[in-house]
Amino acid sequence: MRSAIAMFLVCLSTPSLGQTALPPGYWTESQSAEILAKTEVIRLAPSLDALDEAERGALQDLLSAGEVMQRLYERSKHPEAAASLEKLKSLHEKLGQPAVTRNLLDLYRLNQGPIAITLDNRREAFLPVAPQTPGKNVYPADATREQVDRFLTDHPAQRGEILAERSVVRRATRANIEADIATLERFPLIRGLHPGRIENLRFLAKRASPEAFYAVPYAIAYPQEMTRLFASLMRAADKVEPADAEFARYLRNRARDLVSNDYESGDASWVTGRFARLNAQIGAYETYDDALFGVKAFHSMSILLRDEAATSELRKALGGIQSIEDALPYEPRRRVRDDMPVGVYDVIADFAQARGTNTATILPNDALFTRRYGRTILLRANIMKNPALFAADERIWRAATADAHANDLTSEGNVLRTLWHEIGHYLGPDRDRQGRTLDVALANHADAMEEMKSDLVSLFALHRMKHPSLRAIQASGIKRTLQNVKPRSDQPYQTMQLVQFNWFLDKGLLRADPVTARLTIDYGRYPDTIDSLLKEVLRLQYAGDEAAVGAFFAKWTRWTPELHEKLAERIRSAQGARFRIVKYAALGE
């Protein structure tokens, strides 16, 4: 496997013989080669032999829906995405497909748009386009946070719509409003599902002002894409109906959700549905691309193939879930459903925001829908078990720990720890002492605390089960905490991993060599170390004291040059690729 990766690395960064000159604004070949030399290609190709004819037919429509989602996502991240890609493609052909433009096409694929992440973690345009704005293309390019905040203070009634998860914010100019009115006139399906909207826009047009803002639902902002998605999902539903009637119902509900801009029916039938072999995550859920307010969800799509045997084995193991909850070191208890909608899948293809090497998903995030219907857990086995990704984990592990531990890490340990991490989100307190949700009580620290709780519940549960693969699970738990660079405080995952690492050192589970910083593990101390930190995390969550949690993070995130930085250097030089392009056999790649 390693030689295969090396081959890809060479292909991606082969220099051409003569330098081809491009117009200003395009990166040079050496600029792109620097990043591509740190990029590897992963290809996912699960066998589709288990699918019957009906499912295969539906899959084709789902794949074409995915392509629509992909372009939609790129457009919502950058206004010039589609135009700059078209120009680059025609330049590539006109110049006879030289390395310089091939590299730029690879960069576009890697970054899903014309803005690259550089080796020193900056975001930079590599095509002649405007720089990236924090609000991406779902807020006006020239709008600042202060302007929008001021408008919301003066117009509190607009708050809900402007900060909605699935709406695009615009300046209230006559041209913008008239374009939205024209959309509703042209698309009767969307007009009918948004009654009163056209009248509201006509009223707003009379008071148009570039200082003011308004928002339109994604269905109105992206009418062409949404009606195409509606048609593709409806077609897929008809085809898959004979093989999997429940999946067909979910696809129809989601198709309507996309044009009505209300996800409740699709989320309900997704989370509570019992599907056969296919599953799909479809729609806008995660908000981390919105750097202006952190509220806008961006589009994504994953098409998944269920691993029947692994899923039923997993569901059996979940029979004892209540006993894990009851054993957690905290007072208030809750009833946990033991028919959790969890499945093990191979990724057939990912699109848009879901494209990458994410190992597991738990959705939806909406608090009301979660309370009503629960959340579905999707474990992505062919990513968790990918040999190239595991090879990188193993290189890091061996660089960071003493030789005695060289063979402790296995991909199975990673899979089990990840699975129980997702289940961990279901256990422990979901509200604080005062009955507030933890997001409200712990504000900016809520995510880091919740993720740390899930990491620790995972290790706690697997220790209690005396799992046969415990050593590999324990090693995975330590691997998880290793950092290749000092975390920023706005990075919840890395921050809580550093807290665990420092706690492990403090309790003697880890000991660092004073010269090399390599780690020795005292596995005998593992259970007590996990119990003590889990107890503290559950206590802090239930207390709901934001200041106390802040003090806890301040105390446990120290970073020293002689230990942390030295270890980070070892990891950086061992890790290999920084970036990954994922390709999919189902897309003919």
The CB-of-375 to Zn ion minimum distance in angstroms stands at: 11
The CB-of-278 to Zn ion minimum distance in angstroms stands at: 25
Residues 435-454 that bind Zn ion (CB under 5 A): 451, 454
Cβ-Cβ contacts under 8 Å for 544 (sequence gap 6 or more): 432, 433, 434, 436, 438, 441, 442
Q: Is the Cβ of residue 237 or residue 457 nearer to Zn ion in the bound state? A: 457
For CA atoms 482, 487, 489, 491, the dihedral sign is: negative
Q: Is the Cβ of residue 171 or residue 445 nearer to Zn ion in the bound state? A: 445
Which amino acid is located at 175 in the chain?
A
Cβ-Cβ contacts under 8 Å for 272 (sequence gap 6 or more): 341, 373, 374
Neighbours of 531 (CB within 10 A): 16
The CB-of-360 to Zn ion minimum distance in angstroms stands at: 8
Q: Is the Cβ of residue 322 or residue 358 nearer to Zn ion in the bound state? A: 358
The CB-of-422 to Zn ion minimum distance in angstroms stands at: 6
Residues pairing with 581 in the sheet: 41
Which amino acid is located at 568 in the chain?
A
Which three-class secondary structure state does DSSP give residue 446?
A: helix
The CB-of-425 to Zn ion minimum distance in angstroms stands at: 6
Q: How would you classify the pairing of strands 510-512 and 519-521? A: antiparallel
Q: Is the Cβ of residue 148 or residue 379 nearer to Zn ion in the bound state? A: 379
The CB-of-533 to Zn ion minimum distance in angstroms stands at: 16
> How many residues at the interface with Zn ion, by CB under 5 A?
2
The CB-of-136 to Zn ion minimum distance in angstroms stands at: 24
> Residue 430 phi/psi, 5° resolution?
-105, -5
The CB-of-529 to Zn ion minimum distance in angstroms stands at: 20
Q: Is the Cβ of residue 132 or residue 497 nearer to Zn ion in the bound state? A: 497
The CB-of-421 to Zn ion minimum distance in angstroms stands at: 6
Which tokens go with 13? 């960064």
Q: Is the Cβ of residue 493 or residue 523 nearer to Zn ion in the bound state? A: 493
CA distance 170 to 261: 17
**Contact assessment for residue 384 and residue 411, using Cβ atoms and an 8 Å cutoff:** yes
C-alpha distances in Å from residue 304, one per residue of 249, 300, 383, 406: 17, 13, 12, 34
**Contact assessment for residue 196 and residue 202, using Cβ atoms and an 8 Å cutoff:** no
The CB-of-366 to Zn ion minimum distance in angstroms stands at: 16
Q: How far is CA 233 from the centre of its chain?
A: 23
Helix (H) or strand (E) segment spanning residue 503: helix 492-506
Residues 38-57 that bind Zn ion (CB under 5 A): none
Q: Is the Cβ of residue 222 or residue 420 nearer to Zn ion in the bound state? A: 420
**Contact assessment for residue 185 and residue 178, using Cβ atoms and an 8 Å cutoff:** no
- Kindly tell me the burial class for residue 206, based on how many C-beta atoms sit within 10 Å of its own C-beta (0-12, 13-18, 19 or more): exposed
Which amino acid is located at 314 in the chain?
L
The CB-of-423 to Zn ion minimum distance in angstroms stands at: 10
The CB-of-306 to Zn ion minimum distance in angstroms stands at: 21
Q: Is the Cβ of residue 280 or residue 452 nearer to Zn ion in the bound state? A: 452
Per-residue b or e along 471-507, where b marks 16 or more CB atoms closer than 10 Å to that residue's CB: bbbbbbbbbbbbbbeebeeebbebbbbbbbbbbbbeb
Residues 504-533 that bind Zn ion (CB under 5 A): none
Encoded one letter per residue, x for contact with Zn ion by CB under 5 A and - for no contact, window 392-431 reads ----------------------------------------
The CB-of-286 to Zn ion minimum distance in angstroms stands at: 12
Residues 449-478 that bind Zn ion (CB under 5 A): 451, 454
Q: Is the Cβ of residue 164 or residue 384 nearer to Zn ion in the bound state? A: 384
Q: Is the Cβ of residue 447 or residue 589 nearer to Zn ion in the bound state? A: 447
Residues 355-394 that bind Zn ion (CB under 5 A): none
Which tokens go with 368? 């009301």
The CB-of-428 to Zn ion minimum distance in angstroms stands at: 12
Q: Is the Cβ of residue 350 or residue 422 nearer to Zn ion in the bound state? A: 422
Dihedral angle of Cα 522, 527, 531, 533, to the nearest 10 degrees: 20
Q: Is the Cβ of residue 232 or residue 454 nearer to Zn ion in the bound state? A: 454
Q: Is the Cβ of residue 115 or residue 271 nearer to Zn ion in the bound state? A: 271
Q: Is the Cβ of residue 7 or residue 367 nearer to Zn ion in the bound state? A: 367
Q: Which of 303, 269, 238 is nearest to 62 (CA)?
A: 303
Maximum Cα interatomic distance, the chain, rounded to a whole number of Å: 75
Q: Is the Cβ of residue 410 or residue 454 nearer to Zn ion in the bound state? A: 454
Place of tokens 């848009």: 352
Per-residue b or e along 188-203, where b marks 16 or more CB atoms closer than 10 Å to that residue's CB: ebbbebbeebbeebee
CA distance 8 to 582: 12
Residues pairing with 469 in the sheet: none
End-to-end CA distance of the chain: 19
Residues pairing with 161 in the sheet: none
Encoded one letter per residue, x for contact with Zn ion by CB under 5 A and - for no contact, window 256-295 reads ----------------------------------------
Helix (H) or strand (E) segment spanning residue 360: strand 360-363
**Contact assessment for residue 509 and residue 529, using Cβ atoms and an 8 Å cutoff:** yes
The CB-of-514 to Zn ion minimum distance in angstroms stands at: 34
Contacts to Zn ion by CB under 5 A: 451, 454
